[in-house]
Amino acid sequence: MAGSELTEATGVKTACIQSVACAPLSGESPKGGWSNEIRPEDSVHTLIAVHTDIGVTGYGSVFTSGELARAGLAVLEPLFAGENALEPARVSEKLHQNSFWMGRGGTLTHVISGVDIALWDILGKVAGLSVATLLGGRHVERVRPYCSLLMDEPAAMRDVLAQYKAQGYRAFKIGWGPFGRRDDPALDEAIVRIARDEIGDDAALMVDPGGSDAFWPNGLKWALRTADMLAGYSVAWFEEALKPDDLEGFQILRRQSPVPISGGEVLTRRQSFMPFLRDGAFDIVQPDVTKVGGISEQKRIYELAETFGVQYVGHGWNTALGLAADLQMAAAFPNTDYVEYIGGSAYVDGILAAPFALDNEGYLPIPNKPGLGVQLDRERVAKVTRDVDVLRLT
């Protein structure tokens, strides 16, 4: 049956995938706090567009460079060409099942993430429903974002926090930078103290030293001592305190830490999350929808977390489309308290026709329009990619 035909038996329209294109973002890549810092012109985030034979295009986001995204799409093309874009979970599983021996968990899984997000966007647009509704229903219509900011020297940290507090944020995560990297516990505490003093006792504060950074110097004993210090400042969670594969270390830390322990942002595929969830390594799990395999896979990870009593917080913070996907899942997945919102990124704040905006209580309204519920702005996107034409934005 042709992709745009209407089947008499079911009345379900199909939308065949004609092509999938990628547009690397560059020129405004924000600092990440890494030891080997990226430059603004480096490409680490890529937009994905899935074009169909019925004229509907869906958009997604991948946490990887444009070069890797292009290579991944070339490998996957024989698998998705001509497929029904209205069956995101099935199509994405087909891509996983038939590519595990060519990059399982790595570039191909990241690229499948962007394709899957775009397929859900298409399904919502064709059905006239939000992705959250398609995932089972909307439990909430808004969610609190935590403003994600790089750590700095105490005085500079105060100034940055004051800026975003004035914008209406009521939750903040500070991370990376000098914290834990100078063998200076007094500096670490000074940064946290100045942060708590600036945002006040009624705002949420999270701390992320960035244990996935290259050559992370600290281990379990440092993490345990630091967790004790953070408890004195009512920190909501301690994120990535250890190297990301240290399952046994995370188990011990979670049992002994007086503050909740979170992690999982660099893991991909639900199978990689299973031991951390089953064996009690996390109080809070943070899968990244632009890495793990997309919305289809993130839903399965959320369900595993719920089964094992682990709280879920999405980590798709890197572009406006990643955040849009996180917002839809926050509506659909019960008891999701937060989404991550990177402060000051042009790839989040600068590419939508109608940028995200906080309400007067510091929450983000969750779009209730078809698909992801957001619209890319061609002129704005053109400022951060040379490949805007492949997206077919109007």
Give CA–CA dist 289/201, Å, rounded.
31
151, 206 in Cβ contact below 8 A? no
Name the pLDDT band for 305 (thresholds 50, 70, 90).
Answer: very high
Tell me the three state secondary structure of residue 149.
strand
Per-residue pLDDT of 96-129, as tens digits, reads: 999 988 888 999 999 999 999 999 999 999 999 9
- pLDDT interval class at 5 (50, 70, 90): very low
Amino acid 10: pLDDT? 37
- Here the tokens at position 240 are 């990535």
φ and ψ at residue 145, rounded to 5 degrees = -85, 140
List, for residues 134-174, the tens digit of each pLDDT value. 999 999 999 999 999 999 999 999 999 999 999 999 999 99
Which has the closest alpha carbon to 114: 288, 264, 266, 352? 288
Q: pLDDT band at residue 4, thresholds of 50, 70 and 90?
A: very low
pLDDT above 70 (res 34):
yes
* Tokens describing residue 98: 């038939």
Ordered alpha helix ranges (H), the chain: 66-80, 88-97, 107-127, 131-134, 154-166, 185-199, 220-231, 247-256, 270-278, 295-307, 320-332, 346-349, 378-382
* Confidence at residue 13, expressed as pLDDT on a 0 to 100 scale: 80
Domains of the chain plus CATH, in order, are: 17-130+382-391 (3.30.390.10), 133-377 (3.20.20.120)
What is the rounded distance in angstroms from the CA atom of residue 187 to the CA atom of residue 189?
5
- For residues 213 and 150, is the Cβ–Cβ distance under 8 A? no
Q: Report residue 229 as tokens.
A: 């210090």
pLDDT above 50 (res 221): yes
The tens digit of pLDDT for each residue in 314-350 reads 998 899 999 999 999 999 999 999 999 998 899 999 9
pLDDT at 82: 96
Reading the block at residue 349, the tokens are 């704040």
pLDDT category of residue 7 using cuts at 50, 70 and 90: very low
Q: What pLDDT shows up at residue 36?
A: 84
Contacts of 245 (CB under 8 A, 6+ apart): none
In this predicted structure, what is the pLDDT of residue 317? 84
Q: What per-residue confidence (pLDDT) applies to 100? A: 86
Q: Find the range with the poorest average confidence among 4-18, 263-277, 309-323, 325-339.
A: 4-18
If you average pLDDT over every residue of the chain, what do you get? Answer: 94
